[in-house]
Structure 1
Amino acid sequence: MNDKQHTIKSPVTVSGIGLHTGVQATMTFCPAPVGHGYQFQRMDLPDQPIVVADVDNVVDLSRGTTIEQNGARVNTVEHTLAALVGLQIDNVLIKLDGPEPPIMDGSSYQFIQALEDAGLEEQNALRNFYEIPEEIRFVDNGRAVELAALPLNDYRLTVMVDYNSPVLGSQHASLTDISLFKNDISSSRTFCFLHELEALYKQNLIKGGDLSNAIVVVDRVVSEDELSELATMLGKPKVAVKKEGILNNVDLRYKNEPARHKLLDLVGDLALVGRPLKGQILAARPGHAANVAFAKKIKKKMMEANSSPVPHYDPAREPVMDINQIMQVLPHRYPFLLIDKVIHLDDTSVASIKNVTINEPFFTGHYPGNPVFPGVLQVEAMAQTGGILVLNTVPDPENYTPYFVGIENCRFRRMVKPGDTIIFRCWLLAPVKRGIAKMKGQAFVNGKVVMEAEMSAAIVRKDA
């Protein structure tokens, strides 16, 4: 799995009809900054409102997942989101001039092709994974539906479906590595049973449904009169079917294509959690309603974990900036360069690491019998961390120098000693104005706050 966040290099557009609304729409994937996530923008509505792809914005689950925000709806988002997750793209603005993404061929494959044509671009920030900490389970006994997420340092999914049908029967599909999504899962098409088709039509759904973008499973003998009615419903001169099989005798791309498509839908629906996941996902008879209920349980756990402000630090992961990259930005050098790596950086926040070791020169004279990391140097290390953040607000940071110009409400909570690893976290309290940044900072050791302060910094051009 990718460690760094990714967007696309340039905008790319697809067009087509919406499955349920039947409305022709053009959808443009656009590059987006670090931390942006997935957002839709309804270009056809007044003020062009944004709809964030978030499980809390789900408003309808009638044969697809519909989200709504700011008075704007986007129908059937799951195939679009599945393509983005499958390519490990984190940040995209999706401009849409209609109520529903085009259904294309009923799968995610054509979205994958378009995104790959645009090109993927690595961004200077680590992906903000949510790692499943313990078993999370959703059960709907009435529908014999069960989904579970288990801890795993990877993202794997297994789906089982059982339709009690002589055509489909019991099927399984698995995705053992997200990099296999494109070849193994993305081309699996949406489907429904013949007995569902008329009901969906009467519910004013599948207006854009066509035998070129959906599989219709026929699990009973159909009369010629029924076939004529189906042809009229689908706008076709004629439809045919074997005794039991697929309407118009369309060939399946895989024997278990329906199960693979259910896995595709699950990937797309779980994208609404809002962060890339690490875990083993097991699903028995999933559907959009169960997927979204499951996603809400995962997000609830995630938000409870987020109540702690301590940034997650995994020493095994590649940092956003190593010491050489830090020295390209900050003017400080030994013995006054006091941060070792940057582990997070976006438009409003930053986190860094300082490894405190006994061989640092100040320990010679600072409480030599009981060495303590000087508080004033903790402040300086935090200021350097904040300097990285404010320099990130200009397009050419190499031409600027950050200066620490003020400090308020500074508190030292615990002693820091050799052997400790300090995690510094700074975030902007307001947008940078006239080169002045106001920020809050905290320092943590072993999950405990050891120091905090509010700081002001100025960034000044080197040639000023």
Structure 2
Amino acid sequence: MNDKQHTITAPVTVSGIGLHTGVVSNMTFKPAAINHGYKFQRIDLPGQPIVAADVENVVDLSRGTTIEQNGARVNTVEHTLAALVGLQIDNVLIELDGPEPPIMDGSSIEFVKALQSIGLQEQNALRNYFEIPKGLSYIDEARGVEIAALPLDDYRLTVMVDYNSPVLGSQHASITDINQFEKEIASCRTFVFLHELEMLYKQNLIKGGDLDNAIVIVDRVVQDDELTHLSALLKKQKVEVKKEGILNNTELRFKNEPARHKLLDLIGDLALIGRPIKGQILAARPGHAANIAFARKVKKMIHEASIKNVPTYDPKKKPVMDINQIAATLPHRYPFLLIDKIIHLDETTVTGVKNITMNEPFFQGHFPGNPVLPGVIQIEAMAQTGGILVLNTVENPDDYWTYFLGIDKCRFKRKVVPGDTIIFKCELLAPVKRGIAKMSGQAFVAGQLVMEAEMSASIVKKDA
């Protein structure tokens, strides 16, 4: 799995009819900034409103996942989002001149091909993974649905389906590496049972449905007069049933293509959590309603974890800035360059790391025999971390100095001693105005808050 965030190198457009609305639309994927995430924009509506791909914006689950925000609705988003997740693309604006993404062939493969045709661009920020911390489950006993997530330092999914159908039987599908998505999952098409077709048409759905973009499964004997009726319904000269129970001449791309498509849907629906996941997902008989209910449970878990506000640090991962890059940005030098790594940096937040060793020069005179990291050193290290954030808000940061102006609400919670790794997190309290930045800062050791403060700083051009 990628460590860094990615977007695409250039805009790319796909066009086609929407599955349920039957409206032809053009959908353009456009590059987006760090931490932008997935957002749809209805450019056909007044004001061109934006709809964030967020589980809280889900408003309908009638045979697909529909989201709505700012008075704009986007139908059937799951196949589009699955393609983005499968390619590990983090930041994209999806412009749409209609109410629904094109269904294409009923899978995600045409989106994958389009995105790959223009290529991906690595961005200078780490992916904001949510690592499932403990077992989590969703159960719908009435429908026999169960979805569970388990802790895992990877993203793996397994789906089992059983429709009591003599044609399908029981099927399962899985991927153990998200890089398998393109070849194993992306081309698997949506499917529907023959007995559902009439009902879906009566519900004003699948207006764009066609034998070219869906698999129709026939699990019972069909008389000639019904085939004639289906021909008229599907606007086909003739339809027939193959011996294995698939309407017309549709060949399955995989023996378990329906199960693989359910896995595709699950990946797309879970994208609405808003962050890439690390965990093992196990799903029995999933559908959009269950997927979204489960996604809401995961998002609630994320919210509960965020209350603790503890950044995570994996020393195996490449930092956003190493010590040489920090030294090239800040004017400080030994013995007063006090941060070793920057592990997260975006427009409003920065996270830095300092490893505490007994070799620090101040330990010679500060509590000899009982070494404790001085509070003023913690504050200065936090200020240097914040300095990286402030310099990130201007072009040509080498042309600027940052000066510490003030500190407020400073509290020291616990001792910091040699052997500790202290993690500093600073966040802008408001946009930088007239060269003045105000930040909140926190320091953590082993997941425990050790210090917090609010700081202000000025940013001044060197030749001013």
TM-score by length of structure 2 reads 0.97
Alignment of 1:32-431 (within 5 A): 32-431=32-431
Give 1:375's aligned amino acid.
G
For residue 297 of structure 2, give the secondary structure of its aligned residue in structure 1. Answer: helix
Tell which deviates more after alignment, 232-241 or 350-359: 232-241
The structural deviation recorded for 1:25 is: 0.9
Give 1:38's aligned amino acid.
Y
Distance between the aligned counterparts of 1:171 and 1:448, measured in 2? 46
For residue 133 of structure 1, give the secondary structure of its aligned residue in structure 2. Answer: coil
Count, aligned residues? 464
Distance between the aligned counterparts of 2:444 and 2:165, measured in 1? 58
The structural deviation recorded for 1:373 is: 1.5
Alignment correspondent of 2:7? 7
Unaligned stretches of 5+ residues in structure 2: none
Tell which deviates more after alignment, 424-433 or 374-383: 374-383
For residue 247 of structure 1, give the secondary structure of its aligned residue in structure 2. Answer: coil
Is residue 438 of structure 1 aligned with residue 445 of structure 2? no
The structural deviation recorded for 1:410 is: 2.4
Unaligned stretches of 5+ residues in structure 1: none
Distance between the aligned counterparts of 1:112 and 1:184, measured in 2? 12
Give 1:200's aligned amino acid.
L
Q: Deviations over 1:59-100 (max 9, x none)?
A: 111000111111111110100110011011111111111111
The percentage of counterpart residues that share the same residue type is 75
Distance between the aligned counterparts of 1:164 and 1:360, measured in 2? 69
The structural deviation recorded for 1:243 is: 4.5
Tell which deviates more after alignment, 135-144 or 173-182: 135-144
Is residue 19 of structure 1 aligned with residue 19 of structure 2? yes
Give 2:50's aligned amino acid.
I
Give 2:320's aligned amino acid.
V
Tell which deviates more after alignment, 308-317 or 19-28: 308-317
Q: Deviations over 1:266-322 (max 9, x none)?
A: 000111111111111111111111111111111111211111011111222222211
Give 1:228's aligned amino acid.
T
For residue 142 of structure 2, give the secondary structure of its aligned residue in structure 1. Answer: helix
The structural deviation recorded for 1:461 is: 2.7
Q: Once superposed, which parts of structure 1, at least 4 consecutive aligned residues long, lie more than 6 Å away?
A: none
Distance between the aligned counterparts of 1:463 and 1:248, measured in 2? 75
Give 1:409's aligned amino acid.
K
Q: Deviations over 1:170-205 (max 9, x none)?
A: 111111100010010000001101101111011000
Distance between the aligned counterparts of 1:176 and 1:448, measured in 2? 34
Verify the 8 A CA contact 1:326 1:341 in the aligned structure 2. yes
Distance between the aligned counterparts of 1:408 and 1:102, measured in 2? 54
Q: Deviations over 1:147-170 (max 9, x none)?
A: 111111111111111122222111
Give 1:379's aligned amino acid.
I
For residue 221 of structure 1, give the secondary structure of its aligned residue in structure 2. Answer: coil
Distance between the aligned counterparts of 2:261 and 2:374, measured in 1? 58
Pair 395,31 (structure 1): closer, same or farther in 2 beyond 3 Å: farther
The structural deviation recorded for 1:402 is: 2.0
Q: Deviations over 1:339-361 (max 9, x none)?
A: 01111111111111111111111
Alignment of 1:445-456 (within 5 A): 445-456=445-456
For residue 246 of structure 1, give the secondary structure of its aligned residue in structure 2. Answer: coil
The structural deviation recorded for 1:407 is: 2.1
Root-mean-square deviation (CA, aligned residues, Å) is 1.3
Tell which deviates more after alignment, 437-446 or 206-215: 437-446
Distance between the aligned counterparts of 1:243 and 1:343, measured in 2? 58
